[in-house]
Amino acid sequence: MIDKSGEQNEEVAQFLGDLAVLRLKTEYRSIKESPATAFYRPCLQHSIRYKRAAGYFRSTVFFVTGGSVVEFARRGGKMLLICSPELEEGDIDAIALGYAKKSEVVVDRLTSQIDRMLSDDATAYQTRVLATLVAIGALEVKLAFRADRKGLYHEKIGIFVDGLGNRVSFKGSANETWSAWDPSGNFESIEVFCSWRGGLEAERIAKHETHFDLLWSETDPDIEVFSFPSLALDRLKQAAFKGLSDVTGTPSQLTIAKREPMSHQLRAIAGWEEQGSRGIFEHATGSGKTFTAIVALSRHLDKGLPVLVLVPSQLLLVQWAKELRDEVPSAALLLAGAGNNDWKLPRRLKSMTDRDPALGARLVLATMQTASSPEFLGKVSGGDHLMIVGDEVHQSGSPRNSRIYDLATGPRLGLSATPTRYGDPEGTANMFRYFGPVVPPSITLNDAIEAGRLVPYEYFPHPMHLSATEAAEWTDLSRAIQLEIARQRTDENGRKPISERAKMLLIRRSRIAKKASAKIDLAVQVLKDHFEDGQSWLVYCEDSDQLGVVLNNLKSVGIDAVEYHSSMSGDRDETLLWYRKFGGVLVSIRCLDEGVDIPSISHALILASSQNPRQFIQRRGRVLRKSPDKDIAVIHDAIVVPVSAEQEQDQMGLLKAELVRSIEFSSHAINRAGGAELRAIAIEMGIDPDTLSDDGIESDD
């Protein structure tokens, strides 16, 4: 029960405010003018009403504005908020078709979000502030859909009103979130209009307020607006303080404590221990599997016993080294591989993996290439005292890396979003035999999105064709591949192996599709039509030639893009730092495969379309990583399809491979109809899209 006594008095009730005393600029940019301090707080302090329409809302905004929101409420101020509920496209479709009641679906989503915010130490206090404002009537929330169910309601306008009739409105890129207003958050900008300046500014304010009032009255024909569901409202109010007197809003409440494992991570570790400390975490990108593994290995280190961590690349070696130093700083850490050679010193590796607990907590972090070498394996002190952790564990199953399986160890833990090795049943079986089975339950992409660890996404495939020259080259290579395979003798299983020459021909042929000339025009058109300032786009290319052409063609239409790839000189890190801070268009090669972490990517255009299911699943997962104020991701995909099944029969295999990716991507997108056109193309060409399988070939670096 909320105690409203003492919250308001006559002085509060008579407060009018005067926005006209403020000397407001016509625009604010977050890094330059600090809109939270220079604009948002002063306007709240001189207002009695705040009308706000925002795409999404996060309760952490109250800690950017400090106590001004609470004081606004104590003076009798009221905030009216319209925002979009975070529903999946399937939910909206079910509502539209009458399969589910809107109230039930929305309540389910909202209550899970409220519970998640309250269970997280980083957001629990802010959420209780939000709940208190709702409970005392200082904040009223309504939700909005687009009436046509296409896309999201993502408008961003606000109107401050004082008791003298003055108004200030603003419009821009800022959501009602911490990262939108705080200088250390996103780079955002807003335009500001003041009624007392008259002229066009007064007209703009009138339009903004008329539009907002139409929405609030729930009579706008294009936007469906409805009240916050009572069941979800009750759940929120249960978390409220007794009154505003209990709300301090001190900055200390924003302090995020040292990371603690979440419930799904603790369940995973318990399941692994129940399997005799053997098994693989099949957890989607974004689920925190690295930290889960660190929690598990820390328990082994606490006994004074050593741990060997294996990673497949130099970049992951660097990332793991940072994580281990941050989370287990007391453990001795030895790096091996990627230019780190101290492990070769006499008895160094042997002592770092010795079973003597008196030597203390020890960690050896090695690349798989180094760890599988005879020299490394010959220096390790194997035995049941040694724990082994394999990140991207599927790569340990390659013929070279699997020599690691000769190493005797105790606890074994593998990590991979997709542990099965495509086209390599023997390597897969050897991997599971050594590390153990998948620890149930697996965490899928949908699970990660549902739990809020990844953002939902929209998927837009763009069908296109090879040029006449490219199609002819494809046909010639297809014939050469058939002849090469026909020359091979059948093995004991009655199959003809793929020779090294056939593999090279296959690679050459696949690059024809990856570098199709039509993809250049597509890249320019997609960015011209959809790129907006403030967004972060990644254009994913096959090689430096394609990257260069894309950069030049974008520049010719006025789009300034930057490049990023592993062969760049010393400005590579600076480029990535600039992009993470300011966004724009980044044209890159293989950066997602190499483990580069760019959570701020809001849009991706995939030109280099891998036919390896693991690669395109991993690329998608990295695009969906969470970032402040990133509510949704958008993926554009270039899909090569034949002009005619009869005239280009040799491209049907390519079409099937492209369809596997497109159907996988569209089946998890919020706009699930995105792949409808491609399914229609497949059916027209005699392919049943529901019978396609992801029979890719594993490609180990």
Helix, strand, or coil (residue 81): strand
Q: What percent of the chain has pLDDT over 90?
A: 36
pLDDT tens-digit readout, 365-374: 999 999 999 9
Return the pLDDT at 176. Answer: 57
Question: If you average pLDDT over residues 168-197, what whole number do you get?
Answer: 72
Question: If you average pLDDT over residues 343-355, what whole number do you get?
Answer: 93
CB atoms under 10 Å from CB of 684, counted, come to: 9
Return the pLDDT at 90. Answer: 44
Residue whose C-alpha is closest to residue 53's, from 138, 171, 146, 147: 171
Measured between alpha carbons, how far is residue 511 from residues 472, 654, 679, 695 in Å? Answer: 14, 11, 24, 19
Please give the span between the terminal C-alpha atoms of the chain, in angstroms, as a whole number: 61
Q: Which letter, b or e, does each residue of 150-168 get, where b requires 16 or more Cβ atoms within 10 Å of its Cβ?
A: eebbbbbbbbbbbbeebbb
Burial of residue 448 (CB within 10 Å: 0-12, 13-18, 19+) is: buried
Which pLDDT band holds residue 331 (cuts at 50, 70, 90)? Answer: confident
CB-CB contact of 113 with 452 (8 Å): yes
Residue 493 is given by DSSP the state T
Residue 37 is given by DSSP the state I
- Residues carrying CATH 3.40.50.300, the chain: 263-450, 455-488+496-696
- Residues carrying CATH 3.30.870.10, the chain: 27-239
Q: Is the pLDDT of residue 149 over 70?
A: no
Residue whose C-alpha is closest to residue 418's, from 654, 632, 694, 636: 694
User: Looking at the domain covering 455-488+496-696, what would its CATH class be?
Assistant: alpha beta
What's the maximum distance between 2 C-alpha atoms anywhere in the chain? Answer: 96
Return the pLDDT at 273. Answer: 97
CB atoms under 10 Å from CB of 341, counted, come to: 12
Return the pLDDT at 60. Answer: 44
Q: Is 541 or 622 the better-scoring residue by pLDDT?
A: 541
Residue whose C-alpha is closest to residue 636's, from 663, 670, 607: 607
Element (H, E) at 143: strand 139-146
Tokens for 544? 């430096």
Question: If you average pLDDT over residues 393-414, what whole number do you get?
Answer: 95
Tokens for 549? 């052409």
157-161 vs 167-172, strand pairing mode: antiparallel
Question: If you average pLDDT over residues 105-131, what whole number do you get?
Answer: 71
Question: If you average pLDDT over residues 542-555, what whole number do you get?
Answer: 92
Return the pLDDT at 283. Answer: 92
Return the pLDDT at 693. Answer: 54
Q: Is 543 or 256 the better-scoring residue by pLDDT?
A: 543
Tokens for 580? 């993470």
Residue 257 is given by DSSP the state P
Residue whose C-alpha is closest to residue 508's, from 537, 535, 480: 480
Q: Is 519 or 41 the better-scoring residue by pLDDT?
A: 519
Angular region, 50: left φ>0, alpha ψ -120 to 50, beta rest: beta
Residue whose C-alpha is closest to residue 670's, from 418, 445, 442: 445
What amino acid occupies position 328? Answer: V
pLDDT tens-digit readout, 553-583: 999 999 999 888 767 765 666 777 788 778 8
Question: If you average pLDDT over residues 141-147, what whole number do you get?
Answer: 81
Lowest pLDDT segment from 358-362, 526-530, 640-644, 649-653: 649-653
Return the pLDDT at 120. Answer: 62
Lowest pLDDT segment from 8-17, 480-489, 671-680: 8-17
CB-CB contact of 349 with 380 (8 Å): yes
Residues facing 139 on adjacent strands: 79
Q: Is 78 or 498 the better-scoring residue by pLDDT?
A: 78
CB atoms under 10 Å from CB of 263, counted, come to: 9
Return the pLDDT at 11. Answer: 40
Q: Is the pLDDT of residue 9 over 50?
A: no
Return the pLDDT at 24. Answer: 92
DSSP-assigned states of every residue in 278-320: EEEE-B-TTS-HHHHHHHHHHHHHTTT-EEEEEESSHHHHHHH
Which range has highest mean pLDDT (436-445, 611-620, 657-666)?
436-445
Lowest pLDDT segment from 78-92, 200-214, 512-526: 78-92
Return the pLDDT at 83. Answer: 82
Tokens for 257? 């404590």
Which pLDDT band holds residue 8 (cuts at 50, 70, 90)? Answer: very low
Return the pLDDT at 591. Answer: 65
Residue 483 C-alpha from the chain's centroid: 44
Measured between alpha carbons, how far is residue 317 from residues 261, 272, 309, 674 in Å? Answer: 22, 24, 9, 37
Residue whose C-alpha is closest to residue 380's, from 431, 413, 344: 344
Tokens for 559? 């789009």
Return the pLDDT at 255. Answer: 33
Q: Is the pLDDT of residue 13 over 50?
A: no
- Of 3.30.870.10, 3.90.1150.10, 3.40.50.2300, 3.30.2350.10, the CATH number of 27-239 is 3.30.870.10
Question: If you average pLDDT over residues 408-413, what whole number do you get?
Answer: 98
User: 263-450 has which fold?
Assistant: Rossmann fold (3.40.50)
CB-CB contact of 163 with 248 (8 Å): no
What amino acid occupies position 33? Answer: E
Element (H, E) at 367: strand 362-367
Angle (deg, nearest 10), helices 89-96 and 102-119 = 150
Which range has highest mean pLDDT (121-125, 164-168, 686-690)?
164-168
Vertex 312, ends 306 and 316: CA angle to 5°? 80
